[in-house]
Structure 1
Amino acid sequence: MSLTHVISESLAQIHLLPAQDIPNPGPQAPPGAGAIEDVVSYLRWIAGICILGLFFGGIVAATAGRLWDHHGSGRLGARMIVGSLALAVLFGLGYTLVSQFAASAA
């Protein structure tokens, strides 16, 4: 059997195969996905508590700086308040942005 004969037979057999679509299964959560979701929800809760702590800590620092005429503490408290508000906006938009990016990539 020559090489050209083998190639011609294999090409003939390729044309005889029925055309089938490649299967496209839907997304399925891997094993242990529930535990990962629990860890992520704990981290989100901790992040929310930290943002609240930063905000109220900023209020305390700014108030103490004003009461005892300590300008450094007053400025630091104001920065903490503004920073916590910016983090709260990012915290609120984070889920929406990540979901939007994930939907456009899929």
Structure 2
Amino acid sequence: MSVSHLVLEAQSWLLQQPPGGNGIPNPGAEAPPGSEAIGRVVGYMRWVAGISVLGLFFGGIVAATAGRLWDHHGSGRLGARMIVGSLALALLFGLGYTLVSQFAGSTA
């Protein structure tokens, strides 16, 4: 089948359609029932994640300080890892909303 043949068939099909637009209806997007509760739960989860990142950061500071004060190298190293891990999680936490919104907006 050639492209010109397909174009001619599409044009003839469109011309045969009634002018009133009695085609397939295209309803708008509508939020499902209970979506407010889902949004509230997601908000709680974001709050808990943010508090957890802050707790990890300050816990790392306490562990690193205690390791240095009492000459306990394992605690000092663990505290340093906790601080670096909390900074990486904070970066992901900050970028997460932007990335998810970008991906969700591009598919809609």
**Counterpart position of 2:107:** 105
- Structure 2 residue runs without a partner (length 5+): 1-14
**Separation (CA, whole Å) in 2 of partners of 1:42 and 1:21:** 44
**Separation (CA, whole Å) in 1 of partners of 2:16 and 2:86:** 67
Give RMSD over aligned pairs: 1.7
Alignment of 1:48-87 (within 5 A): 48-87=50-89
Identity percentage of aligned residues:
78
Report the alpha carbon displacement of residue 22 of structure 1 after superposing the two structures with TM. Answer: 3.0
Alignment of 1:11-90 (within 5 A): 18=18, 20-90=22-92
TM-score w.r.t. the length of structure 1 is 0.80
List structure 1 segments (4+ residues) > 4 angstroms apart after TM superposition: none
- Structure 1 residue runs without a partner (length 5+): 1-14
**Separation (CA, whole Å) in 2 of partners of 1:42 and 1:92:** 16
**Separation (CA, whole Å) in 1 of partners of 2:16 and 2:106:** 39
Report the alpha carbon displacement of residue 20 of structure 1 after superposing the two structures with TM. Answer: 3.7
Counterpart AA for 1:84: S
Does the C-alpha gap of structure 1 residues 99 and 65 become closer, same or farther in structure 2, counting only changes over 3 Å? Answer: same
